[in-house]
Amino acid sequence: MTDSGNADHPAAPAPTGDSQAALPGRAVHAVGQAKRGGRRRRWPTVLLAVVIFSTGAVVGGAATLTLVVRRVQYALASPQHFPQRATARLTRRLGLSEAQAARVKAIFTERQKALFSIRREVMPQVRAEVESLRSEVRNELNDEQRAQWEQIFERLEHQWIRPDPFEERPGGGGPAD
């Protein structure tokens, strides 16, 4: 078969110029079909590419969010490690000398103690407000809702009010590690 699309006469020359308009569109029709067929075949490919890209974006976003949340939770749960971790990160990024790193770690440690001192002063007021919230919402609920609210609140309270990692442990074990 030639470019002309004429299967009956394989040696027939391809129509040129105005002769295409004179022929009832065989070559045009053959080319048109190839283009339409190509478009039909591209839709599944394009759709598959969009689905793969979208899935990758969702999975990547979820993985990033999970990583960030875990790091923040770790930092909140173990702030005693913050000065060392922050100093190590700054040392890598800024190229701190050993002397600079030691001074920066001392600064982080001192400022962190000051922040926890402020926290200890404010926490009784925060706990009172959180307890008011718990009580006021509880008073608006029926018995079944109250039970569910208490479960929900326990989880939220654990996230909102974390124990002071530098307080004495109930068993007398000293500051939290």
Tens digit of each residue's pLDDT (9 = 90 or more) over 85-132: 899 999 999 999 999 999 999 999 999 889 888 988 998 998 899 899
Q: How many residues are listed for the chain in this entry? A: 177
The structure tokens 């609210």 sit at 149
Taking each helix axis from N to C end, the angle separating 98-139 and 143-160, rounded to the nearest 10 degrees, works out to 170
pLDDT band at 29 (very low <50, low <70, confident <90, very high): very low
Answer positive or negative: Cα dihedral of 53, 54, 56, 61.
Answer: positive
The predicted pLDDT at position 49 comes to 93
- Say how far apart CA 57 and CA 54 lie, in whole Å: 5
Task: Show Cβ contacts of residue 2 under 8 Å, excluding neighbours closer than 6 positions.
Answer: 10, 11, 12, 14
Closest CA to 86 of 65, 99, 104, 69: 104
pTM for this entry: 0.45
Which pair of tokens denotes residue 130?
């959180």
Tens digit of each residue's pLDDT (9 = 90 or more) over 31-63: 444 455 555 678 888 999 999 999 999 999 999
In the predicted model, is pLDDT for residue 140 greater than 80?
A: yes
- Say how far apart CA 143 and CA 138 lie, in whole Å: 9
The predicted pLDDT at position 12 comes to 52
